[in-house]
Amino acid sequence: MGKLFDLDSPFMRALNKIADLMLLNLVVLFFLVVPFTGGAALTGMHYVLLKMVRDEESYIIKGFWKSFKLNFKQATVLWIIVLVVGAIIGVDFAWIYYNADKVPAAYTYIMFGVSILLYMVSLYIFPLQSRFDNPIKRTLKNSVMFAILGLPRTVGMTLVSLIPIVLLYFFDMQILPILILFGVTGPSFLMALMYNGLFKRFEPKVEEEETKEPVNDEDDEELQAAIKRMQEARDRK
């Protein structure tokens, strides 16, 4: 029984992750309410969640805030793009609703299909922003590519992301306290479990390129001098 409550036991690690998800969810909700900070908040959230999935040591608030500040400008632009596209789709569906007798059924089905595809692509935007350093245009292109390469996990991510809406539909406001604690980070953590393997396929090349730094003449001279000292020390032995 004592081992169950050891700090390194699976039970305690699970409890720690639950507590971290709860704390992170409250922070993310706060910034989602504040105008124009939603993109940076989702980026910071996915930065922390990916570390949690990989069991990498990370302070929740410190890691979130680090990614939030680092990606704020670009994530905000991406957030505005997502909101604008979402608003256009919403207006289009409202127009279809009020003109149902005039709009062909085929147009409704096409709009529904396009909306689903765009939503699937949007699920990768902020995880990619949190992990890879790319221009906005490249991030959007990569989101499309990952959504395609990630099939069928992209479908799974879509279904998981809709869990809060499904819970609200069936349980109404009774489920609201749970959603306040885990409504954003809970589904997003499950999504991170799904896209983690896909991200790893591309990370080695990126990390290798990032670690390659040009060697100037001074560095080369210092390296040669160090090698010479090592050879002289070996000869003395």
Residue 102 counted as domain residue = yes
Residue 233 counted as domain residue = no
Residue 25 counted as domain residue = yes
> For 64-77, what is the mean pLDDT?
97
Residue 223 counted as domain residue = no
User: Residues 41, 31: contact at Cβ < 8 Å?
Assistant: yes
Split into its structural domains, the chain has a count of: 1
Per-residue pLDDT tens digits for 161-174: 999 999 999 999 99
Which residue in 179, 181, 153 sits closest to 168, CA to CA?
179
**pLDDT above 70 (res 122):** yes
Q: Residue 210's pLDDT is what?
A: 42
Residue 62 counted as domain residue = yes
Q: How confident is the model at residue 190 (pLDDT cuts 50, 70, 90)?
A: very high
**pLDDT above 90 (res 235):** no
Omega within 30 of 0 (cis) for the link into 177: no
State which residues form the domain around 143: 7-199
DSSP string of 185-208, one letter each residue: HHHHHHHHHHHHHHHHTTHHHHHH
Q: How confident is the model at residue 14 (pLDDT cuts 50, 70, 90)?
A: confident
Residue 79 counted as domain residue = yes
Per-residue pLDDT tens digits for 38-60: 999 999 999 999 999 998 877 89
Q: Residue 5's pLDDT is what?
A: 60
Residue 159 counted as domain residue = yes
Over pLDDT 90: what percentage of the chain?
A: 74
**pLDDT above 70 (res 223):** no
**pLDDT above 60 (res 215):** no
- Three-state secondary structure call for residue 65: helix
Burial of 4-41, coded b for 16+ CB within 10 Å and e otherwise, reads eeeeeeeeeeeeeeeebbeebbebbbebeeeeebbbbb
Residue 226 counted as domain residue = no
